[in-house]
Amino acid sequence: MIKILKTSETTPQELFSRTIQSADVSEVVGKIIEDVVKNGDKALLAYTERFEGAKLKSLEVSEEEMSEAFEKVEPKLLGIIKEAAENIERFHRNQLRSGFVMTDKPGTVMGQKVLPIEKVAIYVPGGTAAYPSTVLMNAIPAKIAGCKEIIMTTPCRPDGSILPEILAAARIAGVSRIFKTGGAQAIAALAYGTETVPKVDKIVGPGNQYVAEAKRQVFGRVAIDMIAGPSEILIIADKSAKPEFLAADLLSQAEHDRLATAVLITDCAELAEKVAEETERQLCELPRQEIARASIESNGKIIVAESIAEAVEISNEIAPEHLELCTEDPFALLADIKNAGSVFLGHNCPEPLGDYFAGPNHTLPTGGTARFSSPLSVDDFVKKMQFTYFTSEAFSGVAEKVAAFAEKEGLGAHARSAMARIKP
C-alpha cells in the first residue's frame, strides 16, 4: 500500500527523499568499453549473443528489414505514429533559432552562427519494454536541427529482429542508420567507432544504469544529453481532482521500473485516503503489477500538505521529471512552478499524453536535475560558433586596452600580439 505522510509530522528528509541507484556498475561498464575499443564488432556480436540471445551475422538493419517492418505494423497504429510525429515536429520547429550579426561599432563585425551537430546517435532502450515513442522524441529534434547523420542503436530480440514499430518510427522520424546493439557496449561503439558502427559527435536517449554509466564514462570524447535516472511523477491535487484519475496517473509511471517514483501532494486528507485505496485497487488489474507494486511500495508516497501553496514549495524542492497540476485552476499555479521537466495542466492532461502524442519532448531531466537542466530539444543538436572582424583602424583604437589587460594577467605574448599591429 502506498504510504501517506503529513507535512506537519514528517521530516524534510522523508518528504524529499528519492530513489538512488545504489549498485556500482562503473567497473563492469569500464571493462565493456575497453573490450569494444579493443575488439570492435567482434565484441558487439559477442555481447548481443550473451545478453539478447541472438547470433547475428550483421549488426546493421538492412533496407529490406525496414521495408518489412512497415508492412507488419498495424495500419491504425502506423497512422497514430505518423500523427504523433507531426505533433512533435510542429512543437519542436518553434525551437529553431538563428544566429546574429553585430555591426553597430564602426569597423567591426561580430556575430554568432548556429550550426547542426553533424553526426548524432540516439539510444533506444529494449529490455522490459520497447519504445517507438523514444525514437520520435529523440530523432525528430535532430532532424529539425539539420543533423547530417542520425544513427540509432537498440537491442534486438532473440531472433535477431527489432520490433517493427521501432523501425517504422525510425523511418518516419528520419533516422539514417540503425544498429542491433544495446547496453554499455552500444554507447562505447558510438563513442569510439567500430568496423561497422560509426563514431558520432553526440549521444542522446535514455537507458538503464549500465547505459547511464557508459554515457558518463565516454562524456568528453563525445557529448551526451544527460544522465537519466528512474522515471518520476509528482502530482499536485486539490479536492476537485478525481481519485481514480490520480491513482491511474501515479501507476502510469510506477509500471516503468521498480525504481520509479510516484508522488501525490494534496491539501485534502480525504482525497489522500481515497487515492491510496484506488491505487491499491488498480494495482491488482495491471499487467505489470509486480513492477508497479515494487515501485509504489518502495518509492511511492502521498503527502498531505497544509495548503496547495506548500505543495508547490515541496514540488519545487523535489524538481520532478513530470509534474501534473490537477487543480481547479492549474494556470494560477504555473507561474509559481520553478523546477520541473514537463508540466501537465488540469484534470484532462495525464502524463502519458506527453509521453506519446501531444508534442513536447518526453526525454526529461530526472533526479532533481530539473533545477538546472531542460527537456531534450532542438538546442541539444546544435552548436554555436562565434566570429569577429576588426578593420585596421578599429583595432588600433583598442589595441592598447587589449595589451593592458593581457599585461595585468601576466601574459606578455598576448600583449605583444596586440601591440605588433599598431607599431609605426
Known catalytic residues are 321-322
Burial of 160 (0-12, 13-18, 19+ CB in 10 A): middle
For residues 222 and 189, the answer to whether their CB atoms sit within 8 Å is no
| Whole-angstrom Cα Rg for the chain | 25
Nearest to 48, CA basis, from 187, 210, 194, 182? 182
Contact 260, 231 (CB under 8 A): yes
Q: Using CB atoms within 10 Å of the CB of residue 248, give its burial: 0 to 12 exposed, 13 to 18 middle, 19+ buried.
A: middle
Q: Give the chain's largest Cα–Cα span.
A: 88
Name the residue with cell 518510427. Answer: 169
Q: Which amino acid is at 72?
A: K
